[in-house]
Amino acid sequence: MHAISYAAPTTVADAVSILAEHGANARMLAGGTDLIVQVREKLRDTTVFVDAKHIPDLTQLTVNADGSATLGAAVPCHQIYGDDAIVAQYPALVDACRIIGSTGIQGRASVGGNLCNSGPAGDTIPPLIVHGAVANIAGANGERTLAVEDFCTGPSRNVLGDDELLVSLTLPKPADGSGSHYLRFIPRNEMDIAEVGAGAAVTLDGDTITAARVSIGAVAPTPLFVAAAGEALIGQTAGEAAYEVAANIARDAASPINDMRGTIAHRKHLSFVLTQRALRGAVARARGMEVGHGH
């Protein structure tokens, strides 16, 4: 291991200029639960760590006047599930924050870091997608915004240029009668990476589904937004028949690989099973019922 440099900018502009100066050698450091491990294992040769945690825009979690929420990129999981307003509005994201790693990891691991790490199995990404989150990005050429489903471009790859950083995520206010759920399948009961993850958000008018979004993880090079699954639910009565249709669409959308974490056949099958379960949980929550967070 070589010597490394550490920078702690206090403004987005300073961070951008450090990133621009060092190019691919520099990376943002949020909780470090991915980055430090990867550098130690020589999976990345980062020599300049740019700490995100001294920049106010990146560390604040606010519910805005219009009811939407702005989630600073470096806000750790524990702060998210410790915030009652967030817990009430974005239960799928909260499900993910509660199952990442362990209590210790959740004290540092951020949602922004999870998204920017861009792993196909990143647990917060399907929830961000079903919540309709938008990424607020800053770089040498100014600012831009992008829907989270368009953020990842491949395993460990995303749209950010070397001079860009994720400032925050904006999550729109869910309509009345909404509920959401995220769950994943792991072979053990903790400390595992999702073999498949599935998130769903629905809005109900009585028993009728008026809006729905479905996203599955670990079954393609990036977390998948399965728009067709959500569209198929609209106008349907909430119930098993509707879930099965959506779950079949999710299974067809999945294009997983065989690896040490699972097989193609099992992952396809789990895409179906977990989509059903995520929808059941989302609908139950929309109806005001309690649903535990799954593995």
Ligand X SMILES: Cc1cc2nc3c(=O)[nH]c(=O)nc-3n(C[C@H](O)[C@H](O)[C@H](O)COP(=O)(O)OP(=O)(O)OC[C@H]3O[C@@H](n4cnc5c(N)ncnc54)[C@H](O)[C@@H]3O)c2cc1C
Nearer to ligand X, 93 or 226 (CB): 93
20 scored as a contact of ligand X (CB under 6 A): no
129 scored as a contact of ligand X (CB under 6 A): no
- CA dihedral of residues 13, 16, 21, 27 (deg, nearest 10): 140
From residue 202, give the alpha-carbon distance in Å to each of 19, 168, 286: 39, 24, 7
Contact partner at residue 116 from another protein, ligand X, none, CB < 5 to 8 Å by partner kind: ligand X
Contact partner at residue 213 from another protein, ligand X, none, CB < 5 to 8 Å by partner kind: none
CB of 85 to ligand X, least distance (A): 21
CB of 268 to ligand X, least distance (A): 21
Helical (H) or strand (E) element with 165: strand 165-171
Closest CA to 279 of 184, 175, 176, 202: 202
Choose the stretch contacting ligand X; rule: CB under 6 A; options: 1-9, 24-32, 250-258, 278-286. 24-32
Contact partner at residue 165 from another protein, ligand X, none, CB < 5 to 8 Å by partner kind: ligand X
Selected from 12, 16, 18, 29, the binder of ligand X by CB under 6 A is: 29
Q: Which of residues 58-97 bind ligand X (CB under 6 A)?
A: 58, 73
Nearer to another protein, 6 or 142 (CB): 6
160 scored as a contact of ligand X (CB under 6 A): yes
End-to-end CA distance of the chain: 35
Could you tell me if 121 and 218 are in contact, meaning their C-beta atoms sit under 8 angstroms apart? yes
Could you tell me if 182 and 95 are in contact, meaning their C-beta atoms sit under 8 angstroms apart? yes
Could you tell me if 224 and 196 are in contact, meaning their C-beta atoms sit under 8 angstroms apart? no
Q: What is residue 256's three-state secondary structure? A: coil
Nearer to another protein, 40 or 157 (CB): 40
Selected from 14, 68, 87, 101, the binder of ligand X by CB under 6 A is: 101
Selected from 86, 92, 94, 109, the binder of ligand X by CB under 6 A is: 109
CB of 4 to another protein, least distance (A): 12
Distance (Å, whole) CA 115 – CA 166: 9
Nearer to ligand X, 138 or 209 (CB): 138
Q: Classify residue 55 as left (phi > 0), alpha (psi -120 to 50) or beta.
A: beta
Q: Which two tokens stand for residue 61?
A: 């979690």
Q: Which two tokens stand for residue 28?
A: 């943002």
Helical (H) or strand (E) element with 202: strand 196-205
Residues forming the site for ligand X (CB under 6 A): 27-35, 37, 52, 58, 73, 99-101, 105, 108-110, 112-114, 116-117, 122-123, 160, 165-166
